[in-house]
Amino acid sequence: MSEILSSTELPAIRREVELHTADGLVLVGELALPETGTPAGTIVFLHPLPTAGGYMDSHIIRKAANRLPALANLAVLRFNFRGASSPRGTSEGSFGHGVEERFDLDAALRFVRENGLPTPWVVGWSFGTEVALNHALEHDVAGLILLAPPLHRTTAETLAKWNDRTEIPILALIPEHDDYLQAPEARERFSAVPHVEVVEVEEGKHLWVGEKQTYRVLTEIVKRINPTALPLPTEFP
C-alpha cells in the first residue's frame, strides 16, 4: 500500500475533450471515468477566477480528477473557462466576467447529457460558485456544491430564485478563515434560501491548502454524491 499524496494519480479512464459553446467557442477539458462499470455520479467542476490564476488544474479540482474515479466511482469533468489556459491547452474566447461563462456551463452540461453521464452535480470553487449560482438554475442538475463562495457576483435576488428549485440540494462549504466570506455572513446571506446547507470548515482557508483540507473537501463532495464510498482511503495498492 502507498500513501495518497498531493501528486498521486490513481487509475482511471482519462480522455481529453472539447466543449462547444452556443456562441461558437471551443473549450478544452478532460473527462476522467472509473476503470470499470457505470459511475455512481458525475462531477462538473467550475474553476476559480481565471484572471487570478484559476484553471482546470487548480489543485482541488486536479486532485478530485486524480482520485475520485478510483476511490468513489465518480466521473469527473473539468475544463478551462473561456480564455483560460492550462497544460491541457487554452480555451477560445476571453474572460466573460461571469456572464458569458453561462455558455461554458451550458456546453459542459450538454456534454454530460450527450455522453450519457449520470447524476450531474455542479461543483464550483470561488468564481466557479458564482457561475453555478447564477446560471445553473435553468438546468437539470442533481445538486450544487459551493467551495468557498465569495458571493461577489451573485445578488440576493438571484439567490432567492433558488427557492423555486428546492428539489436541488445545495451545499456551501465555508472555510473558517476565508478571505471573502466567512461563516456568519454566509449564514446570513444564504438564509434567503433555507435549503442551502452551510458547513464551516475549521482551519480552512480560501485556497484549501494542505492535504488535511483537500481530504475534507473531497469527503464533503463524496458524502453528497456517493456516500457509500466513505471513508475515503488514504492509501492505495
Residue spans per domain, the chain? 18-226
C-alpha cell at 198: 452551510
Longest dimension (CA), the chain: 51
Q: Are 103 and 51 in contact (CB under 8 A)?
A: no
Instruction: Please give the Cα distance from 141 to 124 (Å, whole number).
Output: 13
Q: What is the pLDDT of residue 6?
A: 95
pLDDT (0 to 100) of residue 52: 97
Strand 196-201 to strand 41-46: parallel, antiparallel, or no bridges (unpaired)?
unpaired
Instruction: Domain 18-226: give its CATH architecture.
Output: 3-Layer(aba) Sandwich (3.40)
Helices (H) and strands (E) in the chain, counts: 6, 12
Specify whether the CB–CB gap between 91 and 84 falls below 8 A: yes
Q: In tens digits, what is the pLDDT along the chain, a chain of 237 residues?
A: 999 999 999 999 999 999 999 999 999 999 999 999 999 999 999 999 999 999 999 999 999 999 999 999 999 999 999 999 999 999 999 999 999 999 999 999 999 999 999 999 999 999 999 999 999 999 999 999 999 999 999 999 999 999 999 999 999 999 999 999 999 999 999 999 999 999 999 999 999 999 999 999 999 999 999 999 999 999 999
The grid cell for 205 is 482557508
For the question of whether the overall pTM of this predicted structure is more than 0.75, the answer is yes
Q: What pLDDT was estimated at residue 35?
A: 98
SS3 at position 190 = helix
